[in-house]
């Protein structure tokens, strides 16, 4: 049985974040296809030793985030030397800063290239760390870009030929339980994601406050954790009761919010292949989204998009969706389920190992000439 060590996801299940959602849905399906998967996680996000066939290993921790990140990086590398997996799968570029060292274990390397990879300009020490990680992509055996736009961007920078485009999948309705009620009442638009500058939450709030002058009954419901860059005081100082901040919720509790929303808004200025957008689509929730290249890759009708840098454009989109939400619904059948994403990922693994097996054979043939 071939083994995979997964590095970069903080933990599963029910951990907030696109990388963690991808890991939670993808790797149990890969284990069901005959692969042995171990995911290296972090405290307190990794609570058990196993999840649906995926072995969970928790890195050592001192409870200090900056130190814990280095402990995770070094601990995962030691784990790889002991485990000797066939493949190391980095779920985000930032976790691949020691990629060169993993090559010394003799394993094959797959790197998932997502939203954090083109977040330029990177600043401070992170600038050098991310540049170093991106430089090392030339030593990766296979790269998985989550959207065609990200794949093109990487190809333009590094001129790599081993890039595959595999996004996220839509959830089947039965994944989420019926019957529970949303923790809010009345009409509301919904945002789900980290409360941060990259998610453009301040512009969304500004647009909502203009929109709400003509729609005083509407609420803006925000679900997500605060980032350090969110300027929480500024948002809380508004004192607007129509802005309802629920904080971080388990993924299993999001279903009633999607079902009850008049529409869902993704105002991001930086995005990969948005899991929350796909979740909204899978529940039949009308959607609006910023016109980033990564979002344009979804190939939705032009009416769904707005300029995230222009509050007036956002207000216009909110008015359109509120007036006729039904025309902003998107059929979930346009997007693959997670089973297909697992099949595509396994195909990348098999190609990676097949290429490795073919190399000694070709060298043997040359040696006989």
Residues 159 and 295 in one domain: no
Same domain, 241 and 276: yes
Q: What is the pLDDT of residues 42-64, one digit of tens each?
A: 999 998 999 999 999 999 999 88
Tens-place pLDDT, residues 66-110? 899 999 999 999 999 999 999 999 999 999 999 999 999 899 999
Contact indicator for 282, 173 with CB cutoff of 8 Å: yes
Whether residues 94 and 184 share a domain: the answer is: no
Tens of pLDDT along 340-359?
Answer: 999 999 999 999 998 776 66
- pLDDT over 80 (residue 363): no
Of 184 and 176, more confident: 184
Q: What is the mean pLDDT of residues 234-263?
A: 89
201 and 310 fall within a common domain: yes
Mean pLDDT estimate for the chain: 90
CATH number at residue 208: 3.40.50.2000
The first and second tokens of residue 290, run together, are: 């910023």
- Whether residues 294 and 309 share a domain: the answer is yes
Confidence at 367, pLDDT banded by 50, 70, 90: very low
Same domain, 363 and 310: no
Confidence of residue 265 (pLDDT cuts 50, 70, 90): very high
Same domain for 159 and 228, yes or no, is no
108 and 149 part of one domain: yes
- Cα 34 from chain centre: 25
Q: Are residues 291 and 359 in the same domain?
A: no
Contacts of 345 (CB under 8 A, 6+ apart): 26, 30, 144, 166
- Closest-CA residue to 234 (of 195, 191, 278): 195
Q: In sequence order, what E strands does 154-272 have?
A: 163-165, 188-192, 219-223, 243-247, 263-266
* pLDDT category of residue 25 using cuts at 50, 70 and 90: very high
Does residue 81 share a domain with residue 28?
Answer: yes
Task: Say how many domains are in the chain.
Answer: 2
CA 279 vs CA 80, 95, 163, 230, 259: distances in Å: 33, 26, 26, 24, 10
Contact 42, 77 (CB under 8 A): no
Same-domain status, 298 and 349: no
* Domain enclosing residue 119, as ranges: 3-169+337-368
> Cβ distance 218 to 187 under 8 Å?
yes
Q: Do 164 and 215 fall within a single domain?
A: no
């Amino acid at each position: 049985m071939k083994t995979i060590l997964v590095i970069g996801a903080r933990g599963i299940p029910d951990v907030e974040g696109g990388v963690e959602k991808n890991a939670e849905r993808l790797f149990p399906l890969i284990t069901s296809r005959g692969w042995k998967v171990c995911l290296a996680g972090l405290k307190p996000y990794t609570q058990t030793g196993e999840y649906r066939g995926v072995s969970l290993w928790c890195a050592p921790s001192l409870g200090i985030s900056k130190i814990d990140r280095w402990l995770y990086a070094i601990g995962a590398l030691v784990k790889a030397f002991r485990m000797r997996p066939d493949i190391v799968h980095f779920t985000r570029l930032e976790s691949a800063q020691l990629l060169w060292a993993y090559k010394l274990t003799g394993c094959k390397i797959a790197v998932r290239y997502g939203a954090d990879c083109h977040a330029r300009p990177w600043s401070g020490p992170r600038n050098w760390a991310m540049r170093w990680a991106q430089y090392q992509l030339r030593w990766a055996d296979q790269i998985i870009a989550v959207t065609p736009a990200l794949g093109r961007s990487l190809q333009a920078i590094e001129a790599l030929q081993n890039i595959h485009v595999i996004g996220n999948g839509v959830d089947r309705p039965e994944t989420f339980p019926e019957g529970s009620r949303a923790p809010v009442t009345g009409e509301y638009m919904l945002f789900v994601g980290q409360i941060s500058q990259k998610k453009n939450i301040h512009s969304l709030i500004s647009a909502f406050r203009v929109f709400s002058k003509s729609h005083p009954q509407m609420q803006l419901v925000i679900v997500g954790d605060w980032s350090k860059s969110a300027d929480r005081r500024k948002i809380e100082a508004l004192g607007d009761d129509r802005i309802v901040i629920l904080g971080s919720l388990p993924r299993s509790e999001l279903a009633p919010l999607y079902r009850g929303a008049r529409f869902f808004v993704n105002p991001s200025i930086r995005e990969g292949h948005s899991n929350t957008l796909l979740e909204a689509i899978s529940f039949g929730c009308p959607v609006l989204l910023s016109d980033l290249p990564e979002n344009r890759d979804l190939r939705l009708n032009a009416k769904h998009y707005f300029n995230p840098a222009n509050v007036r454009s956002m207000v216009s989109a909110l008015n359109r969706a509120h007036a006729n939400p039904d025309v902003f619904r998107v059929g979930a059948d346009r997007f693959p389920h997670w089973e297909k994403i697992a099949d595509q990922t396994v195909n990348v693994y098999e190609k990676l190992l097949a290429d490795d097996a073919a190399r000694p054979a070709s060298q043997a043939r040359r040696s006989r000439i």
